[in-house]
Chain A
Amino acid sequence: MSTWRIARLVAAKDLRIELRSRVVTNQVLPFAALVMVMFAFALDNDTVLTRVAPGLVWLATLFSMLVLVQRAFAVESADGALDALQVAGVRPGGIFLGKSIAMAAQLAVLEVVLLLAAVVLYKVQLAGSGAVLLVTTFVAATTGLAFVGTLYGGLAAGARGRETLLPLLMLPVVAPVLIGATRATEAALGTNGASPSEGWPWIGLLALFAVLFGVGGTLAFGSLIDD
């Protein structure tokens, strides 16, 4: 069976599990909203909040993503399903892409909610002139984050103390996404007087990151999850 067919199968399975369990809806989204509220409490200044809103949105995304990644691999390791997938000879590249697609879909929902929370809580204004840049930023950053999350989730899945190991491994690696996505989002929203043209070079960084981890993950995932 081809890698793409496996990817579609795994993605559909992961999304069906989410639809049935509603972990994102009932746990991850409230957690993300709570993080946004806590930022508002901590900074307690509308001007400052509006200025740093893009960074806070992406920080909240990263924190919430840790929960998503843990969950994505908990369903695989709870009853030995990842082992069973290996024995079944299911192409690891297909598993990687499938889990990345499902994670990207869940991240996209999360990011929309966080952006809306920023509009409500931090008084961020969405400008029509930066709409294309904003959408492109979210697509590129989400793709990169989904690939990294799946790769490091797979790496940590079989490790002892994986709950604490995952943030230690993953957060330093996604720092370029945090920086690039924050700068591009600032440019798209016109934060601190930035213009959309200033955001496009950061899209290059986000796209390069996504390609590197997408290709690397597809090739290396089999070795990572193997005994």
Chain B
Amino acid sequence: MTEPVVHLVDVVAVMGGFPVLAGADLTVQRGEIVLLRGPNGAGKTSLLRLCAGLLPIERGEATVLGCDLAVDRTAVRPRVGLLGHANGLYADLSVADNVAFWGATVGATAAEIDASLTRMGLATRLAGVRVSRLSAGQRRRTALACLVVRRAELWLLDEPHAGLDAAGRDELDATLREAASSGATIMVASHELERAGALATRMVEVVGGQTRPVGGA
């Protein structure tokens, strides 16, 4: 059996003196789409930030893409794509400039940048528009195009459907399925259980900073 992409054992993480993860266990295999569900403040975002190497671990074992986060949590970052509550966009740059910038950080070609814009329906009318003039849904779509162009191995998405219209949601789901089928691993934290649940190959409940499988999986 191949090495799991994410392997957490009894992980404890603290933020501002407050425990945000309290003994989380999780194993995710390559190509899975795992839905993290749970109430607000349960630890879903913290779990994603920990996997992205942004949150230090206090105790336990955490290995992501073969990198031991207790030893060096920066090594995993170039191989991970995180879309959190913020979009990570520059408001004064155009949609195309933003995608080109994020693509350039990983050496993406012009064709790859164009493909990402096309994939998210941004290649024509919106490409030259400043991000500050976009709707919330269009910004979200731009952020996803930036994620696509980075070719991350592990996608960590926090409420990715928020602000998207029906067409944008369908495009996102199609993009995620395509990414998973081509070997990417995806973790999605969402309250939209119907849509995200239909997309996911597995669900995990996060409550009080701890994880438990849903449906006996």
A: residues with CB less than 8 A from B are 1, 6, 9, 13, 16-17, 20-21, 75, 78-81, 83-90, 222, 227
Contact = CB atoms under 8 A, between A and B. Distances in A.
B119 interface: no
Interface string B78-118: 11111011111111110001000110111100000000000
B105 A87 contact: no
B30 interface: no
A17 B88 contact: no
Given A87-B53, A87-B54, A88-B105, A13 B93 contact: yes
Given A78-B91, A88-B77, A227 B52 contact: no
Contacts of B59: none
Nearest to A77: B86
Contacts of B106: 1, 88
A227 B53 CA distance: 10
A83 B85 CA distance: 11
Given A21-B92, A89-B74, A89-B77, A79 B86 contact: yes
A83 B54 contact: yes
Interface string B15-53: 000000000000000000000000000000000000011
Given A9-B104, A75-B91, A88-B81, 4 more contacts: A21-B92, A79-B87, A83-B88, A84-B146
Contact of B90 (A13, A83, A222): A13
Interface residues of B, number: 32
Nearest to A18: B92
Nearest to B102: A88
B93 A227 contact: no
Contacts of B80: 87
B67 to A, nearest CB: 11
Contacts of B88: 79-81, 83-85
A226 to B, nearest CB: 8
A224 B130 CA distance: 30
B82 A1 contact: no
Given A16-B97, A79-B88, A227-B54, A88 B150 contact: yes
30 contacts: A1-B107, A9-B105, A13-B90, A13-B97, A17-B90, A17-B93, A21-B92, A75-B90, A75-B91, A79-B87, A79-B91, A80-B85, A80-B87, A84-B86, A84-B146, A85-B105, A86-B54, A86-B77, A87-B80, A87-B81, A88-B102, A88-B105, A88-B150, A89-B77, A89-B78, A89-B79, A90-B105, A222-B74, A227-B55, A227-B56
Contacts of B92: 17, 20-21, 75
B89 A79 contact: yes
Interface in B102-145: 102, 104-107, 130
Nearest to A1: B107
Contacts of A21: 92
B101 A84 contact: no
A1 B106 CA distance: 7
A13 B97 CA distance: 9
A75 B101 CA distance: 14
Contacts of B74: 89, 222
A82 to B, nearest CB: 9
Contacts of B102: 84, 88
Contacts of B93: 13, 16-17, 20
Contacts of B78: 88-89
B11 to A, nearest CB: 16
A34 B77 CA distance: 45
B34 to A, nearest CB: 19
Contacts of B53: 87
Nearest to B146: A84
B101 A87 contact: no
Among A75, A81, A84: residue with most chain B CB under 10 A: A84
A85 B74 CA distance: 12
B108 to A, nearest CB: 11
A80 B84 contact: yes
Contact of A81 (B55, B81, B90, B130): B90
Contact of B86 (A1, A6, A83): A83
